[in-house]
Structure 1
Amino acid sequence: MFDLFSPERLQQYAILAPGLLIALVCHEVAHGYVAYLLGDPTAKSQGRLTLNPLKHLDPLGTLAFFVVHFGWAKPVPVNAGYFKNPRQGMLLTAIAGPLTNFILAAAFATIIHILVSLEFTPGGLSEKIIVPTYLMAQAGVFVNLILGIFNLLPIPPLDGSNVVAYFLPPRMANTYMSLSRYGFIILIGLILMGRFSGYSLVGQVILPMVHAGVRILGVTM
Protein backbone atom coordinates (compact mmCIF):
# COMPACT_ATOMS: atom_id res chain seq x y z
CA MET A 1 0.00 0.00 0.00
CA PHE A 2 2.76 2.45 0.89
CA ASP A 3 4.28 1.86 -2.55
CA LEU A 4 1.24 3.69 -3.93
CA PHE A 5 2.72 6.87 -2.51
CA SER A 6 6.41 6.33 -3.14
CA PRO A 7 8.30 9.25 -4.74
CA GLU A 8 8.27 7.45 -8.11
CA ARG A 9 4.52 6.85 -7.92
CA LEU A 10 3.84 10.44 -6.87
CA GLN A 11 5.80 11.62 -9.90
CA GLN A 12 3.71 9.35 -12.15
CA TYR A 13 0.49 10.69 -10.61
CA ALA A 14 1.63 14.27 -11.19
CA ILE A 15 2.26 13.53 -14.87
CA LEU A 16 -0.96 11.58 -15.46
CA ALA A 17 -3.40 13.55 -13.31
CA PRO A 18 -3.81 16.78 -15.36
CA GLY A 19 -4.57 15.03 -18.65
CA LEU A 20 -6.82 12.42 -17.06
CA LEU A 21 -8.72 14.98 -14.99
CA ILE A 22 -9.30 17.20 -18.02
CA ALA A 23 -10.31 14.17 -20.10
CA LEU A 24 -12.87 12.89 -17.59
CA VAL A 25 -14.40 16.25 -16.67
CA CYS A 26 -14.69 17.56 -20.24
CA HIS A 27 -16.10 14.23 -21.42
CA GLU A 28 -18.96 14.40 -18.93
CA VAL A 29 -19.58 18.12 -19.37
CA ALA A 30 -19.80 17.59 -23.14
CA HIS A 31 -22.55 15.00 -22.63
CA GLY A 32 -24.47 17.30 -20.32
CA TYR A 33 -24.04 20.42 -22.44
CA VAL A 34 -25.22 18.78 -25.67
CA ALA A 35 -28.19 17.30 -23.80
CA TYR A 36 -28.94 20.80 -22.45
CA LEU A 37 -28.80 22.29 -25.96
CA LEU A 38 -31.26 19.63 -27.07
CA GLY A 39 -33.70 20.56 -24.30
CA ASP A 40 -32.68 18.39 -21.31
CA PRO A 41 -32.04 20.55 -18.20
CA THR A 42 -31.20 17.58 -15.93
CA ALA A 43 -27.41 17.98 -15.87
CA LYS A 44 -27.67 21.75 -15.47
CA SER A 45 -30.16 21.47 -12.61
CA GLN A 46 -27.78 19.10 -10.79
CA GLY A 47 -24.80 21.44 -11.21
CA ARG A 48 -22.97 19.15 -13.63
CA LEU A 49 -22.35 21.70 -16.38
CA THR A 50 -19.21 22.88 -14.64
CA LEU A 51 -15.50 22.25 -15.04
CA ASN A 52 -15.16 21.92 -11.25
CA PRO A 53 -13.76 18.36 -10.93
CA LEU A 54 -15.29 17.91 -7.47
CA LYS A 55 -18.73 17.81 -9.12
CA HIS A 56 -17.70 14.91 -11.34
CA LEU A 57 -15.25 12.73 -9.42
CA ASP A 58 -16.37 9.22 -8.54
CA PRO A 59 -14.83 7.81 -5.30
CA LEU A 60 -14.18 4.37 -6.80
CA GLY A 61 -12.90 5.88 -10.05
CA THR A 62 -10.54 8.10 -8.07
CA LEU A 63 -9.23 5.13 -6.08
CA ALA A 64 -8.69 3.23 -9.33
CA PHE A 65 -6.45 6.05 -10.54
CA PHE A 66 -4.01 5.40 -7.69
CA VAL A 67 -4.11 1.62 -8.16
CA VAL A 68 -4.16 1.12 -11.95
CA HIS A 69 -3.34 4.65 -13.17
CA PHE A 70 -6.75 5.07 -14.77
CA GLY A 71 -10.13 6.15 -13.48
CA TRP A 72 -13.60 7.35 -14.34
CA ALA A 73 -16.03 10.09 -13.41
CA LYS A 74 -19.69 10.00 -12.38
CA PRO A 75 -21.88 9.76 -15.51
CA VAL A 76 -23.83 12.91 -16.25
CA PRO A 77 -27.59 12.25 -15.96
CA VAL A 78 -29.49 12.49 -19.24
CA ASN A 79 -33.27 12.31 -19.64
CA ALA A 80 -34.15 11.50 -23.24
CA GLY A 81 -37.79 12.36 -22.51
CA TYR A 82 -36.90 16.04 -22.98
CA PHE A 83 -35.60 15.52 -26.52
CA LYS A 84 -37.86 16.22 -29.49
CA ASN A 85 -36.28 13.20 -31.15
CA PRO A 86 -35.10 10.93 -28.30
CA ARG A 87 -33.13 8.50 -30.49
CA GLN A 88 -31.28 11.26 -32.31
CA GLY A 89 -30.80 13.17 -29.07
CA MET A 90 -29.18 10.21 -27.36
CA LEU A 91 -26.95 9.65 -30.40
CA LEU A 92 -25.70 13.25 -30.40
CA THR A 93 -25.31 13.31 -26.62
CA ALA A 94 -23.32 10.06 -26.67
CA ILE A 95 -21.00 11.15 -29.48
CA ALA A 96 -20.21 14.43 -27.71
CA GLY A 97 -18.07 12.76 -25.01
CA PRO A 98 -15.63 10.77 -27.19
CA LEU A 99 -15.49 13.59 -29.76
CA THR A 100 -14.42 15.97 -27.00
CA ASN A 101 -11.66 13.54 -25.97
CA PHE A 102 -10.36 13.36 -29.54
CA ILE A 103 -10.33 17.17 -29.74
CA LEU A 104 -8.44 17.33 -26.44
CA ALA A 105 -5.94 14.73 -27.71
CA ALA A 106 -5.31 16.96 -30.73
CA ALA A 107 -4.90 19.98 -28.44
CA PHE A 108 -2.34 18.18 -26.28
CA ALA A 109 -0.55 17.02 -29.44
CA THR A 110 -0.36 20.65 -30.57
CA ILE A 111 1.28 21.55 -27.27
CA ILE A 112 3.83 18.78 -27.85
CA HIS A 113 4.65 20.07 -31.35
CA ILE A 114 5.15 23.56 -29.96
CA LEU A 115 7.37 22.34 -27.11
CA VAL A 116 9.67 20.25 -29.33
CA SER A 117 10.28 23.33 -31.47
CA LEU A 118 11.59 25.30 -28.49
CA GLU A 119 15.25 25.54 -27.57
CA PHE A 120 16.32 25.25 -23.97
CA THR A 121 19.50 25.02 -21.96
CA PRO A 122 20.05 21.55 -20.45
CA GLY A 123 19.82 21.78 -16.68
CA GLY A 124 18.38 25.28 -16.83
CA LEU A 125 15.03 26.63 -15.65
CA SER A 126 13.51 26.33 -19.11
CA GLU A 127 14.21 22.58 -19.20
CA LYS A 128 12.60 22.15 -15.78
CA ILE A 129 9.43 23.72 -17.20
CA ILE A 130 9.41 22.31 -20.73
CA VAL A 131 10.19 18.66 -19.94
CA PRO A 132 7.42 18.13 -17.31
CA THR A 133 4.97 20.02 -19.52
CA TYR A 134 5.93 17.77 -22.44
CA LEU A 135 5.39 14.63 -20.35
CA MET A 136 2.00 15.85 -19.12
CA ALA A 137 0.93 16.73 -22.68
CA GLN A 138 2.11 13.30 -23.83
CA ALA A 139 0.00 11.67 -21.12
CA GLY A 140 -2.89 13.93 -22.12
CA VAL A 141 -2.79 12.61 -25.68
CA PHE A 142 -2.67 9.01 -24.48
CA VAL A 143 -5.47 9.12 -21.88
CA ASN A 144 -7.81 11.12 -24.11
CA LEU A 145 -7.38 8.66 -26.99
CA ILE A 146 -7.91 5.71 -24.66
CA LEU A 147 -11.00 7.27 -23.03
CA GLY A 148 -12.50 8.29 -26.36
CA ILE A 149 -11.93 4.90 -28.01
CA PHE A 150 -12.94 2.89 -24.95
CA ASN A 151 -16.25 4.73 -24.70
CA LEU A 152 -17.03 3.97 -28.34
CA LEU A 153 -17.08 0.22 -27.63
CA PRO A 154 -20.62 -1.05 -28.40
CA ILE A 155 -21.16 -2.35 -24.88
CA PRO A 156 -24.07 -0.77 -22.94
CA PRO A 157 -23.94 1.66 -21.23
CA LEU A 158 -20.79 2.94 -22.98
CA ASP A 159 -21.33 5.72 -25.52
CA GLY A 160 -20.83 3.39 -28.46
CA SER A 161 -23.96 1.48 -27.48
CA ASN A 162 -26.10 4.57 -28.08
CA VAL A 163 -24.57 4.91 -31.52
CA VAL A 164 -25.46 1.28 -32.32
CA ALA A 165 -28.95 1.65 -30.81
CA TYR A 166 -29.71 4.56 -33.13
CA PHE A 167 -29.42 2.29 -36.14
CA LEU A 168 -31.43 -0.59 -34.67
CA PRO A 169 -35.23 -0.99 -34.85
CA PRO A 170 -36.80 0.56 -31.72
CA ARG A 171 -37.78 -2.72 -30.06
CA MET A 172 -34.38 -4.28 -30.71
CA ALA A 173 -32.66 -1.09 -29.52
CA ASN A 174 -34.59 -1.19 -26.22
CA THR A 175 -33.63 -4.82 -25.66
CA TYR A 176 -30.01 -4.04 -26.50
CA MET A 177 -29.83 -1.04 -24.16
CA SER A 178 -31.44 -3.04 -21.35
CA LEU A 179 -28.07 -4.78 -21.09
CA SER A 180 -26.74 -1.58 -19.49
CA ARG A 181 -27.34 -3.01 -16.02
CA TYR A 182 -24.88 -5.78 -16.88
CA GLY A 183 -22.38 -3.61 -18.75
CA PHE A 184 -19.74 -3.56 -16.03
CA ILE A 185 -20.00 -7.34 -15.58
CA ILE A 186 -19.68 -7.83 -19.35
CA LEU A 187 -16.54 -5.70 -19.47
CA ILE A 188 -14.95 -7.53 -16.54
CA GLY A 189 -15.89 -10.83 -18.19
CA LEU A 190 -14.25 -9.84 -21.48
CA ILE A 191 -11.08 -8.79 -19.66
CA LEU A 192 -10.95 -12.05 -17.66
CA MET A 193 -11.64 -14.13 -20.78
CA GLY A 194 -8.72 -12.38 -22.43
CA ARG A 195 -6.39 -13.71 -19.73
CA PHE A 196 -7.38 -17.28 -20.52
CA SER A 197 -7.86 -17.03 -24.28
CA GLY A 198 -4.90 -14.79 -25.04
CA TYR A 199 -7.21 -12.20 -26.61
CA SER A 200 -6.94 -8.88 -24.82
CA LEU A 201 -9.67 -6.26 -25.22
CA VAL A 202 -7.21 -3.53 -24.34
CA GLY A 203 -4.08 -4.91 -25.97
CA GLN A 204 -5.60 -6.14 -29.23
CA VAL A 205 -8.54 -3.78 -29.74
CA ILE A 206 -8.03 -0.46 -27.97
CA LEU A 207 -4.24 0.02 -28.00
CA PRO A 208 -3.81 -0.53 -31.77
CA MET A 209 -6.39 2.22 -32.37
CA VAL A 210 -4.64 4.44 -29.82
CA HIS A 211 -1.32 3.94 -31.61
CA ALA A 212 -3.02 4.76 -34.93
CA GLY A 213 -4.33 7.98 -33.40
CA VAL A 214 -0.87 8.82 -32.07
CA ARG A 215 0.58 8.40 -35.57
CA ILE A 216 -2.13 10.60 -37.09
CA LEU A 217 -1.35 13.31 -34.53
CA GLY A 218 2.35 13.02 -35.32
CA VAL A 219 3.58 12.50 -31.77
CA THR A 220 5.52 9.74 -30.02
CA MET A 221 4.61 7.94 -26.83
Structure 2
Amino acid sequence: MIPYKSLVKLVEMLLSGFIAVLIVVTPREYIKAYVGYLLGDPTPKKVGRISLNPLVHLDPVGTVTFILFDFGWSRPVPIRPWNLKNGRKAFLFVSLLGPIVGVLCFICFGFVARFFDNNSFAFLVFRKATKYSLTYALFSLFPIPPLDGSRILGALLPPNYTEWYLKYEVYGTLFMLALVVLWIMPMVMDPFVSFIEMLVSRILG
Protein backbone atom coordinates (compact mmCIF):
# COMPACT_ATOMS: atom_id res chain seq x y z
CA MET A 1 0.00 0.00 0.00
CA ILE A 2 1.35 3.45 -0.95
CA PRO A 3 2.06 5.67 2.08
CA TYR A 4 -0.25 8.68 2.34
CA LYS A 5 2.53 11.28 1.91
CA SER A 6 3.89 9.48 -1.15
CA LEU A 7 0.39 9.29 -2.63
CA VAL A 8 -0.12 13.02 -2.08
CA LYS A 9 3.24 13.73 -3.75
CA LEU A 10 2.30 11.53 -6.69
CA VAL A 11 -1.06 13.23 -7.15
CA GLU A 12 0.60 16.64 -6.86
CA MET A 13 3.19 15.70 -9.48
CA LEU A 14 0.61 14.38 -11.94
CA LEU A 15 -1.90 17.20 -11.43
CA SER A 16 0.67 20.00 -11.61
CA GLY A 17 2.16 18.44 -14.74
CA PHE A 18 -1.24 18.15 -16.41
CA ILE A 19 -2.20 21.75 -15.61
CA ALA A 20 1.19 22.93 -16.85
CA VAL A 21 0.62 21.12 -20.15
CA LEU A 22 -2.78 22.83 -20.52
CA ILE A 23 -1.35 26.32 -20.12
CA VAL A 24 1.63 25.56 -22.36
CA VAL A 25 -0.17 24.12 -25.39
CA THR A 26 -3.25 26.39 -25.39
CA PRO A 27 -1.69 29.74 -26.38
CA ARG A 28 0.72 28.04 -28.75
CA GLU A 29 -1.91 26.13 -30.73
CA TYR A 30 -4.54 28.88 -30.54
CA ILE A 31 -2.15 31.44 -32.04
CA LYS A 32 -1.05 29.08 -34.82
CA ALA A 33 -4.68 28.25 -35.67
CA TYR A 34 -5.81 31.87 -35.60
CA VAL A 35 -2.90 33.16 -37.67
CA GLY A 36 -3.38 30.34 -40.18
CA TYR A 37 -7.03 31.35 -40.47
CA LEU A 38 -6.14 35.04 -40.89
CA LEU A 39 -3.72 34.12 -43.65
CA GLY A 40 -6.48 32.45 -45.65
CA ASP A 41 -6.85 28.83 -44.54
CA PRO A 42 -10.37 28.09 -43.20
CA THR A 43 -9.36 24.60 -42.02
CA PRO A 44 -8.42 25.50 -38.39
CA LYS A 45 -11.82 27.14 -37.90
CA LYS A 46 -13.70 24.26 -39.53
CA VAL A 47 -12.16 21.70 -37.18
CA GLY A 48 -12.63 23.87 -34.07
CA ARG A 49 -8.99 24.66 -33.37
CA ILE A 50 -9.45 28.42 -33.00
CA SER A 51 -10.35 27.80 -29.39
CA LEU A 52 -9.04 28.57 -25.91
CA ASN A 53 -10.40 25.22 -24.73
CA PRO A 54 -7.14 23.35 -23.99
CA LEU A 55 -8.75 19.94 -24.43
CA VAL A 56 -9.08 20.39 -28.20
CA HIS A 57 -5.32 20.90 -28.46
CA LEU A 58 -4.09 17.98 -26.33
CA ASP A 59 -2.48 14.88 -27.75
CA PRO A 60 -2.90 11.99 -25.27
CA VAL A 61 0.55 10.48 -25.86
CA GLY A 62 2.28 13.86 -25.96
CA THR A 63 0.60 14.87 -22.70
CA VAL A 64 1.82 11.72 -20.93
CA THR A 65 5.39 12.24 -22.14
CA PHE A 66 5.29 15.85 -20.89
CA ILE A 67 4.35 14.66 -17.41
CA LEU A 68 6.77 11.71 -17.31
CA PHE A 69 9.74 13.00 -19.33
CA ASP A 70 9.37 16.83 -19.30
CA PHE A 71 8.93 17.06 -23.07
CA GLY A 72 6.03 16.26 -25.34
CA TRP A 73 3.77 17.56 -28.07
CA SER A 74 0.21 18.65 -28.80
CA ARG A 75 -2.23 17.94 -31.62
CA PRO A 76 -0.99 19.58 -34.82
CA VAL A 77 -3.18 22.36 -36.15
CA PRO A 78 -4.27 21.36 -39.67
CA ILE A 79 -2.92 23.99 -42.03
CA ARG A 80 -3.18 23.60 -45.81
CA PRO A 81 -0.40 25.63 -47.47
CA TRP A 82 -2.29 25.77 -50.78
CA ASN A 83 -5.08 27.73 -49.01
CA LEU A 84 -2.78 30.37 -47.56
CA LYS A 85 -2.11 33.80 -49.01
CA ASN A 86 1.54 33.78 -50.12
CA GLY A 87 1.39 29.98 -49.94
CA ARG A 88 4.66 28.41 -48.81
CA LYS A 89 6.05 31.58 -47.23
CA ALA A 90 2.95 31.89 -45.05
CA PHE A 91 3.14 28.18 -44.24
CA LEU A 92 6.75 28.60 -43.12
CA PHE A 93 5.74 31.57 -40.96
CA VAL A 94 2.90 29.67 -39.27
CA SER A 95 5.20 26.69 -38.69
CA LEU A 96 7.83 28.91 -37.04
CA LEU A 97 5.19 30.40 -34.74
CA GLY A 98 5.17 27.28 -32.53
CA PRO A 99 8.81 27.52 -31.38
CA ILE A 100 8.61 31.33 -31.19
CA VAL A 101 5.51 31.27 -28.98
CA GLY A 102 7.17 28.55 -26.89
CA VAL A 103 10.15 30.79 -26.13
CA LEU A 104 7.86 33.73 -25.32
CA CYS A 105 5.81 31.51 -22.98
CA PHE A 106 9.04 30.38 -21.31
CA ILE A 107 9.79 34.02 -20.48
CA CYS A 108 6.21 34.85 -19.41
CA PHE A 109 5.66 31.77 -17.24
CA GLY A 110 9.05 32.21 -15.61
CA PHE A 111 8.12 35.78 -14.75
CA VAL A 112 4.73 34.71 -13.33
CA ALA A 113 6.30 31.90 -11.26
CA ARG A 114 8.44 34.40 -9.35
CA PHE A 115 5.29 35.90 -7.79
CA PHE A 116 4.48 32.66 -5.93
CA ASP A 117 5.99 31.09 -2.86
CA ASN A 118 8.49 28.37 -3.82
CA ASN A 119 6.59 25.80 -1.78
CA SER A 120 3.18 26.55 -3.26
CA PHE A 121 1.30 24.43 -5.78
CA ALA A 122 0.97 27.43 -8.11
CA PHE A 123 4.75 27.85 -8.17
CA LEU A 124 5.15 24.17 -9.03
CA VAL A 125 2.67 24.51 -11.90
CA PHE A 126 4.33 27.58 -13.40
CA ARG A 127 7.81 26.19 -12.85
CA LYS A 128 6.83 23.14 -14.87
CA ALA A 129 5.11 25.31 -17.48
CA THR A 130 8.31 27.35 -17.80
CA LYS A 131 10.34 24.19 -18.39
CA TYR A 132 7.79 22.56 -20.70
CA SER A 133 7.57 25.71 -22.85
CA LEU A 134 11.28 25.70 -23.58
CA THR A 135 11.63 21.93 -24.03
CA TYR A 136 8.66 21.99 -26.41
CA ALA A 137 10.12 24.94 -28.34
CA LEU A 138 13.34 22.97 -28.81
CA PHE A 139 11.74 19.57 -29.34
CA SER A 140 9.26 20.92 -31.89
CA LEU A 141 12.14 21.82 -34.22
CA PHE A 142 12.83 18.14 -34.86
CA PRO A 143 11.76 17.36 -38.46
CA ILE A 144 9.42 14.56 -37.36
CA PRO A 145 5.64 14.71 -37.91
CA PRO A 146 3.56 16.04 -36.20
CA LEU A 147 6.18 18.50 -34.88
CA ASP A 148 6.61 22.02 -36.30
CA GLY A 149 10.04 21.08 -37.60
CA SER A 150 8.46 18.68 -40.09
CA ARG A 151 6.30 21.50 -41.43
CA ILE A 152 9.26 23.87 -41.59
CA LEU A 153 11.02 21.22 -43.68
CA GLY A 154 7.86 20.75 -45.76
CA ALA A 155 7.73 24.48 -46.48
CA LEU A 156 11.36 24.43 -47.65
CA LEU A 157 10.99 21.39 -49.91
CA PRO A 158 10.37 21.83 -53.65
CA PRO A 159 6.65 22.59 -54.20
CA ASN A 160 5.84 19.23 -55.82
CA TYR A 161 7.09 17.39 -52.71
CA THR A 162 5.31 19.46 -50.05
CA GLU A 163 1.81 17.99 -50.45
CA TRP A 164 3.22 14.44 -50.65
CA TYR A 165 5.27 15.02 -47.51
CA LEU A 166 2.34 16.43 -45.51
CA LYS A 167 0.18 13.38 -46.29
CA TYR A 168 2.36 11.32 -43.96
CA GLU A 169 1.75 13.63 -41.00
CA VAL A 170 -1.20 11.43 -39.97
CA TYR A 171 1.27 8.67 -39.06
CA GLY A 172 3.46 11.01 -37.03
CA THR A 173 1.95 10.32 -33.60
CA LEU A 174 2.36 6.57 -34.07
CA PHE A 175 5.98 7.11 -35.05
CA MET A 176 6.55 9.35 -32.03
CA LEU A 177 4.94 6.74 -29.78
CA ALA A 178 7.30 4.12 -31.16
CA LEU A 179 10.31 6.36 -30.47
CA VAL A 180 9.13 6.86 -26.88
CA VAL A 181 8.36 3.17 -26.24
CA LEU A 182 11.74 2.16 -27.65
CA TRP A 183 13.30 4.78 -25.34
CA ILE A 184 15.00 6.49 -28.29
CA MET A 185 13.38 9.91 -27.87
CA PRO A 186 13.78 10.13 -24.07
CA MET A 187 17.46 9.24 -24.50
CA VAL A 188 17.96 11.85 -27.24
CA MET A 189 16.12 14.55 -25.27
CA ASP A 190 17.72 13.78 -21.89
CA PRO A 191 20.72 16.18 -22.21
CA PHE A 192 18.47 18.97 -23.49
CA VAL A 193 15.94 18.44 -20.69
CA SER A 194 18.75 18.36 -18.10
CA PHE A 195 20.21 21.63 -19.41
CA ILE A 196 16.80 23.33 -19.41
CA GLU A 197 16.11 22.03 -15.88
CA MET A 198 19.41 23.56 -14.73
CA LEU A 199 18.54 26.83 -16.50
CA VAL A 200 15.08 26.99 -14.91
CA SER A 201 16.54 26.15 -11.48
CA ARG A 202 18.99 29.04 -11.73
CA ILE A 203 16.30 31.45 -12.85
CA LEU A 204 13.58 30.42 -10.38
CA GLY A 205 15.50 28.66 -7.64
Supply the distance in 1 between the matched residues of 2:155 and 2:95 (Cα, whole angstroms): 11
Higher mean alpha-carbon deviation, 156-165 vs 171-180, is at 171-180
Within the alignment, does 1:148 sit opposite 2:137 as a pair?
Answer: yes
1:163 maps to what in 2? Answer: 152
| Deviations, residues 151-194 of structure 1 (Å, cap 9, x unaligned) | 2111133210111222222234445444424423443444456x
The amino acid across from 2:138 in the alignment is I
Supply the distance in 1 between the matched residues of 2:11 and 2:66 (Cα, whole angstroms): 9
Question: Equivalent residues in 2 for 1:105-184 (5 A)?
Answer: 105-115=106-116, 131-184=120-173
TM-score by length of structure 1 reads 0.71
The amino acid across from 2:143 in the alignment is P
SS of equivalent to 1:11: helix
The amino acid across from 1:78 in the alignment is I
Question: Equivalent residues in 2 for 1:73-112 (5 A)?
Answer: 73-112=74-113
The amino acid across from 2:133 in the alignment is N
CA shift for structure 1 position 100: 1.4
1:64 maps to what in 2? Answer: 64
1:52 maps to what in 2? Answer: 53
Supply the distance in 2 between the matched residues of 1:104 and 1:131 (Cα, whole angstroms): 20
Question: CA 1:204 to 1:82, structure 2 compared with 1: closer, same or farther past 3 Å?
Answer: closer
Q: Answer with 1 or 2: which has the greater Rg.
A: 1
SS of equivalent to 1:219: helix
Q: Which runs of 5+ in 2 are unaligned?
A: none
Supply the distance in 2 between the matched residues of 1:191 and 1:130 (Cα, whole angstroms): 32
Q: Are the counterparts in 1 of residues 145 and 172 from structure 2 also a CA contact under 8 Å?
A: yes
Residue-pair matches, total? 201
CA shift for structure 1 position 54: 3.7
1:219 maps to what in 2? Answer: 203
Q: Are the counterparts in 2 of residues 35 and 93 from structure 1 also a CA contact under 8 Å?
A: yes
The amino acid across from 1:8 in the alignment is K
Supply the distance in 2 between the matched residues of 1:220 and 1:202 (Cα, whole angstroms): 24
2:37 maps to what in 1? Answer: 36
TM-score by length of structure 2 reads 0.76
Superposition CA RMSD, Å: 3.6
Higher mean alpha-carbon deviation, 148-157 vs 67-76, is at 67-76
**% identity of equivalent residues:** 27
